[in-house]
Structure 1
Amino acid sequence: MSSPSPALATRLEAARAVVHDAAQMAMAMRPPPGGPQASQKSAQDWLTETDGAVEAFIANRMKALFPDDGFQGEEGGVARTGSLRWVVDPIDGTSNYARGRCRWCISLGLLDGDEPVAGVIDAPALGEVYTALRGYGAFLNGKRIQASPVKDPASSMIEMGWSNRVPKPVFMEKMDAIMAMGTMPRSGGCGALALADVASGRLDGYIEIVINLWDVAAALPLLAEAGARVSPFLQEGGLTGPATIMAANPHIAQALSKAVSIPLA
């Protein structure tokens, strides 16, 4: 295997350090356990002071390090354009974060045009950092990861994300199809970590009917490097707006795709 592009390898290491510092900031600002300490953008869609602070911190640091790179954030939109573009979700799993729970993360992905090439997902309350560089592997705390070997849907675990933008009948139809396969359904409230769980083999699949680029940009290289199968999220509108994503281990991907009527790439 040839060495990775020095430019991309340098960016990944820089991103890991920046996200680490941002994660420590988020930990220091994390609310104690209890009722949500946040404002609501819409039903079950939360925003905390930390979201804005972390995004601004990462945006400023990445601009100083790589001024020619583009930047897009969940809260601030597209701040800069460039052939290389950073995409950040400052707190993915805000509903968990706002209640002092542990299942949340900071997600920073790098796109080269429309190709995801690198990603960092830092879940500081869990003590876990995922990294990936396209063509050179996916890692959890420095150890290589791969998708689950589970082949029997009746032995599998599938997570499905919930969104208030999805009509209840559509959500229930997909959930019924999952359960009809004999799988164990889950919902954890953090899309980036769920996709990382598919990459690491902790989950056999993840589905979300409406999800945004900032939620998945860092996870897409992880999934590719870990051998997971993924629906064509970017090709079906994910670069410019919300779209559907399905990721699964390669052994059950086809059966899951057929059951929930979501095509694979």
Structure 2
Amino acid sequence: MREAEFCEAQERVALCKTVIRSAGELVLQGFRKRTATSSMKGPQDYLTETDAASEAHIRAVITEHFPDDHFFGEEGGGVIGDRIWVVDPVDGTANFARGIPHFCISIAYVEAGQTQFGAIFNPALDELYFAERGKGATLNDRSIDTARTNRFEAASIEMGWSTRVPNETYLGVMGELLALGANVRRAGSGAMALAYVADGRSDGYVELHMNAWDCLAGLLLVSEAGGAVCPFFEIGTLEFGGPVLAAAPGVASGVSNAARIPIAVAPTADRLAASG
């Protein structure tokens, strides 16, 4: 990479960390007031005024600094391009609307068909997750790793639901995970669920259909934290999403078999040893 390209790449990284925190301030203000009205985009799919305000803020800041980059957001959409910011302005909106402090902002930057860096920020807990390809994953600048769980009797797996997939299919996967001995739970934010796999709070996450803005940052986080993830860009698309799986290495194969979602290249033994 040429020096100019390296500097531009680092400017994007710095901007991502800055804008996600400034958007977090806006989102936290909306959460504390909780006076804004909410509406429904679809079954169990909430929309608040804060979603739109957060996305507009992020879009404006990125466009000001990198006007040639593309932007693809949950609320306003966008045009798919080679250099693109993929943004969920508030993931976990149902929690947000009901006063539950489990929600986040998710930003991923994709270039040449790969997620280069990503951030997930829960402003209610002041927890900022960040990962850059090949440089590991952090929580508030502290290095994180996936759990070392290797028995399903000790595993907690989170699942997310999508109306694009029949309930019977989800119940079938959940039944297989329960049969393995896992605890299956749902907390209402797919992006946060992936971040929790990255830092070992959960052992896996499965969603049979997930939008790109919900998962790209989280998948990179898990991968950079030493976990196993699905090959999202092979089985899904930026525009239409796809199935998502992320798991601690010790249970990844079983989760993959239960969900029937493939795993990308698994973490090497050397990398796992290096992670502690």
**Amino acid in the other structure paired with 2:57:** F
Identity of matched residues, % = 41
What number of residue pairs does the alignment pair up?
261
Does residue 98 (structure 1) correspond to residue 97 (structure 2)? The answer is yes
Q: 1:181 to 1:32 in 2, by over 3 A?
A: farther
**By how many angstroms is 1:82 displaced?**
4.2
Secondary structure of 2:236's match? helix
Distance (Å, rounded) in 2 between the aligned partners of 1:194 and 1:249: 13
Distance (Å, rounded) in 1 between the aligned partners of 2:168 and 2:58: 38
Q: Is the 8 A contact 2:190 2:214 kept in 1?
A: yes
Structure 2: which 5+ residue stretches go unaligned? 265-276
**By how many angstroms is 1:229 displaced?**
0.7
- Could you say which residue in structure 2 is the equivalent of 1:174? 173
Distance (Å, rounded) in 1 between the aligned partners of 2:93 and 2:201: 22
User: Superposed, which structure 2 residues align to 1:164-203 within 5 Å?
Assistant: 164-203=163-202
Q: RMSD of aligned C-alpha atoms?
A: 1.9
**By how many angstroms is 1:7 displaced?**
2.5
1:80-139 CA-partner distances (Å, limit 9, x unpaired): x54321000000001101111100001110001210010111101122000111011110
- Could you say which residue in structure 1 is the equivalent of 2:15? 14
Q: Is the 8 A contact 2:88 2:105 kept in 1?
A: yes
Q: Is the 8 A contact 1:68 1:82 kept in 2?
A: no
**By how many angstroms is 1:54 displaced?**
0.5
Distance (Å, rounded) in 2 between the aligned partners of 1:204 and 1:117: 24
- Could you say which residue in structure 2 is the equivalent of 1:67? 67
Distance (Å, rounded) in 2 between the aligned partners of 1:208 and 1:37: 28
Secondary structure of 1:30's match? helix
Structure 1: which 5+ residue stretches go unaligned? none
**By how many angstroms is 1:37 displaced?**
4.4
**By how many angstroms is 1:31 displaced?**
5.7
- Could you say which residue in structure 2 is the equivalent of 1:29? 30
**Amino acid in the other structure paired with 1:65:** H
Give the structure-1-normalised TM-score: 0.93
**By how many angstroms is 1:219 displaced?**
1.4
**Amino acid in the other structure paired with 1:123:** N
**Amino acid in the other structure paired with 1:236:** I
**By how many angstroms is 1:5 displaced?**
3.4
